[in-house]
Structure 1
Amino acid sequence: MSITRRDIFKSFLPKKDSIKWQEVSFPDIASGLETYKKPWDESAVRHLLRRTQFGAPVAEVEYFKKHSAKKAVKELLDTTVNNPAPPVNNYNDDKVTDEQVPLGQTWVNATNNSGMLTGRRIRSFKSWWTMQMITQNRSIHEKMVLFWHNHFATQTETIRHPQFIYQHNLLLRKYALGNFKEMTKAITTDPAMLRYLNGALNTKKAPDENYGRELQELFTIGKGPGSHYTEADVKAAARVLTGYKIRPLMQDSAFDPLRHDDGDKQFSAFYGNTVIKGRSGKDGQQEVDDLMNMIFDQPEVAKFICRKLYVFFVYSNITPAVEQHIISPLADIFRKHNYEIKPVLEKLLTSKHFFDVANRGAIIKSPVEFIVNLCREYNVSFPAEANYMSRYDAFEFMFLRSAYMQQNIGDPPNVAGWQAYYESPAFYKLWVNSDTLPKRNQFSDRMVLFGYRTKSQGDFVGIDLIAFAKSLQSPENPDMLIQGSVQYLLGTNLPNDQQQFIKTSILLSNLQDMADHYWTNIWTSYIQNPTKENKTIVETKLRQLYKYLMDLPEYQLC
C-alpha cells in the first residue's frame, strides 16, 4: 500500500486496512531551504495562508495570488502590529455587579479582584482572544501568539489574576516576531509566569527550582540530543533567579534584594563551567542577564526553537535529513541574527521545502484552527462592536467549543503545552479521538444547519451559504460549484466518481437522468427572483453539500 502524508487521517477510520502509524516511515523530502518561486497558484497560496494565518478565505487567496511567494511572506511577517483594544466588562448580570468597571468598559486596570469577578474576567479575556484570531489582520501575528502561548505555557486556572493574564498575552504579542532572547528575559520576570511557576516564591532562604528547570528544559535548551545540562545547573539557575516578587495592587513584579541569593553560582561543563558572580543590592537583578547570556551561548537553543517552529508550521517528523538540511541551517540563521525570530520564519516560509506538495494538507487542524478557520473561510458574521454583550457571547461560544475539543486557550494541560505539538510519534493525531471527532462534526454541522443564537440578544451567528457560494467561480454550474468548494475547503481534489456522487445525490436530488441544468435553474431562479421559497430551496441544497464536505476526513487537515 502506497502511503502519503495526506493519508494521515485514515488511521482514525474504522477500516481493516487502517494504518499503524508507529510502523510507518515516509521517505525524506529532497527539497531544501532554496527559495520557492513556482508554481505560485491557488494551491500554494492556500497552503501558505492556512499555515501562517487561520484559514484561507477566498478574498485572501485572491489577494495573495497577485504577489509572489517571497512578497506574500514579507507582508505576512510585517511587524507593524498595534495592540487591539482591551477586553471589556460583558459579565454584569443579576448575580454579579462590578462596582469598579461599568458595562462596556475595560477591566484590565481594575484593582477589585474577587472570586466571581476573576472567573468572569478570565472568560471575557478568552472571548477577547478568540475575537482577535477570528478578526485578525493580514499577518502571521495571531498564529505566532498562539505558538508562543504553547511554548511559554501558562494556565489561567493557576494564575487566577485576570490582569496578569492579559499582560502576559500582551507580552507574547509584543515579542511574537521580535527577539527570542529578549522575550525569554521578559517572560522570566513576568507576573503571570512568576505566579505560575513559583518564581515569586523563590528566595535565598527557600529556593524554588520550578522555573529554573523549565527555563532550560522547556523554554530554551530543550531535551534534544545536544541538551546536557545537569541537575546542578537547575539548582544554580534557581539561585540566580531568587528575589523577584509580585505586587498585585500595582499589577507588576519587582526585584527585592533582601530575598536574593548573592553568592556565586557554579554551572557545569555543559555551560563551560561558567560561574555567575553573585551581586548584592539592586545589582542582583543583573545576574539574570548573565544567566541569559550563558544559556543563549549554547547552539542547542537555536536548534530547539527551530525544531518547534518546524513542527508547528511544516510537519511533525524531523528526520536526520531534515535535521541536517533544514533545522541546522535555520539555527545558524537564528544565531547569526542574535535570535531574531523574523529572519528564521522568512527563510523557512519562502523555502521549497515548506511548499513541497508532500507537506501540504499533512497536519491535522488543532481545535482552535478548526473553529477559527471555519469562521474565517466562510466569513461568518458576528455582532457589531457596539453590541458588545452579544459579540462577546458569540466569541465565548467559539472558545468553549474549542475547549470541548481539548484545546482550551489560556489553559493548556501543563507547562509543556499541548501534547499534539511534542508527543512523538503521534503529534497532531492526538487532536482526534472518539470523543473529539464527533464534537468537530457536530460543530461544523451546527454552523451549516442552524448556527448559534447569542444568549443576550438572540443575534444569529452562522454561515451565509449563498454568499459563500457566490464568492466561488460559476456557482450556477454544479461541477464548478463542487470543484471550487472542494478546493477551498479541503485543499485537494476528490476522485471524479465521488464528485459525481455529490452532484447527483445532493445538487440533482438523486435524479439519475437529470441534466446539470436542474441545479442551474434552481440557482438562477433564486438570483433572479430571491423569494423566501427560492432561497429555502437553494439553502437546503447548499446545507447538504457543505455538511457533506466538512464531514469528510480531508476537512480535518490543513
Structure 2
Amino acid sequence: MGRASWPRLAPAVDDRRMGVLSEQAAVRRLWDRFGFGAAPGDLTRPFDETLDRLLGAPAGGGTAPPELPVTTKPPKDDQQARKTANKQRAAQEKQLAAWWLDRMVTTQGADVTAERMTWFWHGHFATSAQKVKVPALMLKQNQTFRQRGLGSFTDLARTLVVDPAMILWLDGDDNTTGAANENLAREFMELFSLGVGHYSETDVREAARALTGWTVNRATGATKLVPKRHDDGPEEILGERAQFSAESFVDHVLERPESAPFVVGRLWFRLVSSTPPDKDTLDGLVGAYGTNRDIRAVLRAVAGTSAFRDDRTTLVKQPVEWLAGLLRAAGLRPSTLDDGVSTKLYQGLVALGQVPFRPPSVGGWPAGAAFLTTAAGLTRLRIAQLVAKTADLSTVSGKDPVEAVRVLLSVDAFSDRTRAALGKVAANPAQVTALAACAPEYVVSG
C-alpha cells in the first residue's frame, strides 16, 4: 500500500471529561505503565485485582534466554578474525533483542511487570553493547535486572556496581590504585543514585579510589577484586571517612537523604508523568520505598496516587514499548515470525532510535516528544503496516471496524478527528489497524 493512500491524522483533541479515569481505563493504564499494554482479555478484571496480579511474585515464565558463549577479543593484527568476531557479535545482539522483545510480548501477570522493570532498569543503569562488545555479559546484566528489579534497590545497586558489563562500559577495568578512573563513581552518584548537585568533585575522586581493583575475566565473564590493584583507603566520601569497599560505598550513598527522592522520582518520570509529584505525594512514595528500598512497594504506592488515576496524566510510549504493545494486541509472537519480518521490525527500531541493549549513552534514552518527530511517525507507520499485514485481524470487521480496532488496541476513546480519519480506511482491516496504531491516542499512553 503506497504511503499517499493513507489519510493524514491530525493531532488528537482530548475531549474526555477532565478528571478521574474510569475503572476500565485505570486498568488499561496499569497494563500500559506496569507492563507493555493489554492483551485481549486483560481488561476484564477490576483495578485492585489487576494490581495484585501485576505486583505478585513472578512465576518465571517466558522464553528461556539464548545460550551465548563469552567471547574473547581476536588479535588486533588478524583482520579476518576481527571481521568474523564482529559479525558473530552483531548476530548475537540481534538474537538477544529478539528474545527480549518476545518476553515483553508473551509474558503475563507479574512476569510482564518483571519485564517492564527490566526495561526500566536497563534505561536507568544504561549500558550499551556497542562498547561492552560481549553479548553474554549484556545478557547477564539483563538477568540481574529481571531477578532483582522488583526487590530492594540496595541489592540491585550493590550488584550493578560490580557487574561485568557495567565495569567494561564505565572503564572500571582501568580503575587501579594510583591511577583511579572516575567514570563509574561519577555516574553512580549522578545518574544512578543521587542526581546532579548532591556530591562534589572530591567525592568523585575518593569514590573512584574505593572502587579500584575490580576487573573482568574476559574468558569467564566473572568479576573479581584484585588486591594489588585496589586502594585500601581510607577515603572521605560525602562527609564520612572510612575504608570503603564497593558494597559499603553503595550503602553509604543510598543512605543520603537525596537518594530516595531521586530513585523514586526516576520511577515516577518513566512510569507516571514528566511532571514531578507534589511534595505530599513524593513523601508518600519515599515512605513506601522505606529503609528496605522496596521497589515493588513504590509501584503499589504509585498506583494509589491521584495522579495515576488522572486522565490528564500522559506519557509518550517509547518505541520498544509501542512495538511490544502492538504485538501483544495483535497476538503476534516475535519468535514465530518469519525472519524477514523480524529483521524489518529490528530495522524499524533502529530507525526509531531505540534498540534493546544499545542505549545511546550512560544517560539512557530520551523521553517524551523526542519520539514524536515526523520521521518517527513515518517509521511507525511502516512498522504498523508490517504488523497489521502479518496479524489475524478477523475481529476488525463487521459493522464498525473503527470501534473494533479501538477495542483491539485497548484505546479508551478516539477523538472525533481520529475517528473520521480511520473511517476513511475502515473497509480494510490492515489499513485501519495500522493507522490506529499510529494515532495519538495509541502512541501516547493516556
Residue 500 (structure 1) shift:
6.6
Question: Partner of 1:25 in structure 2?
Answer: none
1:549 paired with 2:423, answer no
**Structure 2 gaps, min length 5:** 1-7, 75-84
Q: What secondary structure sits across from 1:419 in the alignment?
A: coil
Distance in structure 1 (CA, Å) of the matches to 2:103 and 2:177: 41
1:123 paired with 2:94, answer yes
* Paired amino acid for 1:402: L
Compared CA separation, residues 308 and 436, structure 1 to 2 (3 A): same
Deviations 1:70-104 (A, max 9, x none): 2211210123342755444xxxxxxxxxxxxxxxx
Choose which of 285, 300, 307 in structure 2 pairs with 1:330. 285
Question: Partner of 2:378 in structure 1?
Answer: 438
Distance in structure 2 (CA, Å) of the matches to 1:159 and 1:73: 37
Q: What secondary structure sits across from 1:245 in the alignment?
A: strand
Deviations 1:238-296 (A, max 9, x none): 000011111111220111110011121013xxx3x200226xxxxxxxx2232122111
Question: Partner of 2:307 in structure 1?
Answer: 353
* Paired amino acid for 1:346: R
TM-score (ref. length: structure 1): 0.70
Question: Partner of 1:380 in structure 2?
Answer: 332
Compared CA separation, residues 112 and 495, structure 1 to 2 (3 A): closer
Distance in structure 2 (CA, Å) of the matches to 1:112 and 1:158: 13
Question: Partner of 1:408 in structure 2?
Answer: 355
Residue 496 (structure 1) shift:
5.7
Q: What secondary structure sits across from 2:224 in the alignment?
A: strand
1:483 paired with 2:403, answer yes
Question: Partner of 1:132 in structure 2?
Answer: 103
Distance in structure 2 (CA, Å) of the matches to 1:83 and 1:14: 40
* Structure 1 contact 302–332 (Cα < 8 Å) conserved: no
Choose which of 317, 327, 335 in structure 2 pairs with 1:365. 317
Residue 374 (structure 1) shift:
0.9
Distance in structure 1 (CA, Å) of the matches to 2:209 and 2:335: 51
Residue 543 (structure 1) shift:
2.7
Compared CA separation, residues 288 and 495, structure 1 to 2 (3 A): closer
* Paired amino acid for 2:253: I
Question: Partner of 2:365 in structure 1?
Answer: 418
Question: Partner of 1:184 in structure 2?
Answer: 157
* Structure 1 contact 108–166 (Cα < 8 Å) conserved: no
**Structure 1 gaps, min length 5:** 1-11, 19-28, 32-37, 89-105, 279-286, 385-389, 421-427, 452-461, 470-474, 508-539
1:241 paired with 2:211, answer yes
Compared CA separation, residues 349 and 488, structure 1 to 2 (3 A): farther
Distance in structure 1 (CA, Å) of the matches to 2:418 and 2:257: 51
* Structure 2 contact 19–312 (Cα < 8 Å) conserved: no
Q: What secondary structure sits across from 2:216 in the alignment?
A: strand
Residue 325 (structure 1) shift:
2.1
Higher relative contact order (CA 8 A, sep 6+): 2
Distance in structure 1 (CA, Å) of the matches to 2:433 and 2:61: 36
Residue 323 (structure 1) shift:
3.2
Question: Partner of 2:391 in structure 1?
Answer: 463
Residue 489 (structure 1) shift:
2.8
Deviations 1:399-434 (A, max 9, x none): 3321210111111110010121xxxxxxx1111213
Question: Partner of 2:241 in structure 1?
Answer: 275
Supply the RMSD in Å over aligned alpha carbons. 2.9
Compared CA separation, residues 493 and 236, structure 1 to 2 (3 A): same
User: How many residues are treated as equivalent by the alignment?
Assistant: 422
* Paired amino acid for 1:300: E
Question: Partner of 1:74 in structure 2?
Answer: 52
**Pairs within 5 Å for 1:98-117:** 106-108=67-69, 114-117=85-88
Distance in structure 2 (CA, Å) of the matches to 1:134 and 1:364: 19
Deviations 1:276-327 (A, max 9, x none): 226xxxxxxxx22321221111121110111111111111111xxx230222
* Paired amino acid for 2:68: W
Q: Report % sequence identity.
A: 24
Distance in structure 1 (CA, Å) of the matches to 2:159 and 2:187: 15
Residue 53 (structure 1) shift:
1.2
Distance in structure 2 (CA, Å) of the matches to 1:216 and 1:179: 18
Question: Partner of 1:93 in structure 2?
Answer: none
